[in-house]
Amino acid sequence: MRALGYYRTQDARTGEEAFAAYCAEHRHIPYGVFAEQGEDHALPGFQEMLRHIETSGLGYLVVVPSVEHLGASIREQVERMLELDALNCEVVCDDPETPDPLQAAVRAAKGEEVPDDRRERIREGMRAKAARGLGLGKPPYGYKVAFDGTLRVAAQEAEVVRAIFSMYLNDDLGVRASAARLNVQSARTRKGRRWSMVTVRDILRNPAYMGAYRRFGLLLPGALESIVAPADFRAVQEKMSSRRPVRKHPRSQPFLLAGLLFCGHCGRRMMGVTRRQTWRRKDGERRRGEYRYYQCQSRINNDVCAYRTVRAERVEEEVVSQLRSAPALAAAPPRANGGGNGAAPRKRDMDKGYMTLVERAAAGAMTMAQLRAAVAVAAASREAAAHAAPNGPTTDEEQAKLAPGVWPTLAPAERQGALQALVARVTLKDGAVQVAAQGAPASESAL
């Protein structure tokens, strides 16, 4: 497997030697080492590695000595793992205690330690199990753990895997269209759920289906019975790389109703989506446009709901308009914030929720893509809370920000914070917007 080394160290030679030894031991192909020199918080080495990955358009295994090299806090560590995952890369620690970086981050955040004398036993145990073709953790979809601990093909699941590869490669269906066809055919995941674009994409990227066993940084070609031909697997990877968009645009402003807007038809949250288009006018001038809207989450991920979208500016303006005119809102009591401790209880709740998300991903209950989406929502809430007053905003203070002469002057994060403080829930159904304000009856109007 293609591998890159990343280290926060001043001794680049030691880092290169360690990385080369790791690649030789686990049969990876080294493609370069990126290291930080000194304590530059801009992390030029990490940024250079990201540019290299984006330019190449390929996925890599990124090897770090330990999770601490990704950052000093669990938030920094997870953020960098998610950045790499978005570029189709996997991160692994050259650490016998916990090769999985998410598990290592959780353990470090909790202050858990494993005695040093267990490190080599853990490493040897993993080597021995992998060498015998034994399963380490949950088997990939399409395989099952036999009575002797080896991974064997699960016939029914394997047929679904072959169908997914065939739809993508031969029928020229994307991941969303492939998930939709599986759901129409009443196929279900191992847990009996509908297929989503995330689960289909993860299957298309997993080298296990061509017989290459990979787990916690170990790669053993031919260790498993293949489900798809290696040539077909490589063709799919090339096709996915060619379709993956390269990030060329700066991040857009936040969606003000993130986490608050719900579809009135299926009850699921509506996600903010940004689409960018370029075109050339008749006179030859090249133009570019950006379109921001909310779309039903169940439509995006599981193709359950209908294609329900609304322009972000329209629904956000409607919510602000209703809040300005709601007579009961001004009389609503201030939100409780834990008394004299100010925003501290709320922050502790957010930190606990963040840890819960990371722990679920570390346990395999969430994919990295699902974690990335959940962390984005949590980050928006955290940013809104950061702009709140030290003792928590009162309803009157936040209501005053909605004034026509004040609202346009606020930064996007301040606007989002005001809406998070004033709104409990916004429901969109058949063009009608229903706003449930904190401590006040719901109001409704049509777009």
How do residues 419-435 score in pLDDT, each as one tens digit?
888 888 889 888 888 88
Q: What is the mean pLDDT of residues 53-80?
A: 88
10 Å Cβ neighbour count for 411? Answer: 11
**Nearest alpha carbon to residue 296 among 320, 332, 263, 334:** 263
Taking residues 59-71, what's their average pLDDT? 89
Assign 60 a pLDDT band (cuts: 50, 70, 90): very high
Confidence of residue 162 (pLDDT cuts 50, 70, 90): very high
CATH class of the region 2-114: alpha beta
Look at residue 343 in the predicted model and tell me its pLDDT.
46
* Helix (H/G/I), strand (E/B), else coil: 197: helix
pLDDT digits (tens, 9 = 90+) for 271-300: 888 887 787 888 878 788 788 888 887 655
pLDDT of residue 198: 80
Residue with tokens 């279900």: 188
Whose CA is closest to 88, among 55, 63, 61?
A: 61
Report the C-alpha dihedral over residues 402, 404, 409, 414, rounded to 10 degrees. 10
Candidates 254, 252, 259; CA nearest to 415 is 254
Task: Supply the pLDDT for residue 392.
Answer: 44
d(Cα 173, Cα 180) in Å, to the nearest integer?
10
Q: How far is Cα 329 from Cα 215, in angstroms, rounded to an integer?
A: 54
Is residue 417 within 8 A of residue 385, CB to CB? The reply is yes
φ/ψ (deg, to 5) at 383: -65, -40
Q: Is pLDDT larger for residue 116 or for residue 128?
A: 128
Determine whether domain 143-243 maps to CATH 3.90.1750.20.
Answer: yes
- The CB density around residue 123, as the number of other CB atoms within 10 Å, is 15
CATH 3.40.50.1390 domain span(s) along the chain? 2-114
Q: Are 290 and 404 in contact (CB under 8 A)?
A: no
* Mean pLDDT, range 254-282, rounded to an integer: 83
> How much is the pLDDT for 86?
87
For 171, list phi and psi in degrees, rounded to 5: -90, -5
Judged against a pLDDT cut of 80, whether residue 99 lies above it is answered with yes
CA neighbor of 82 nearest in space, from 371, 374, 383:
371
Q: What are phi and psi of 220, to 5 degrees?
A: -125, 95
Name residue 30's amino acid: P
What dihedral angle (degrees, nearest 10) is formed by the CA atoms of 17, 23, 29, 32? -30
Predicted confidence at residue 120, as pLDDT, reads: 54
Q: Where in the chain is the domain with CATH 3.90.1750.20?
A: 143-243
pLDDT tens-digit map of 322-341 = 888 764 444 344 444 444 44
Confidence of residue 182 (pLDDT cuts 50, 70, 90): very high
Average pLDDT of the segment spanning 157-178: 92
Tokens 């290291």 correspond to what residue? 35
Answer whether 0.75 is exceeded by the pTM.
no
Report DSSP letters for 322-346, one per residue.
HHHH-HHHHTSPPPP--GGGTTHHH
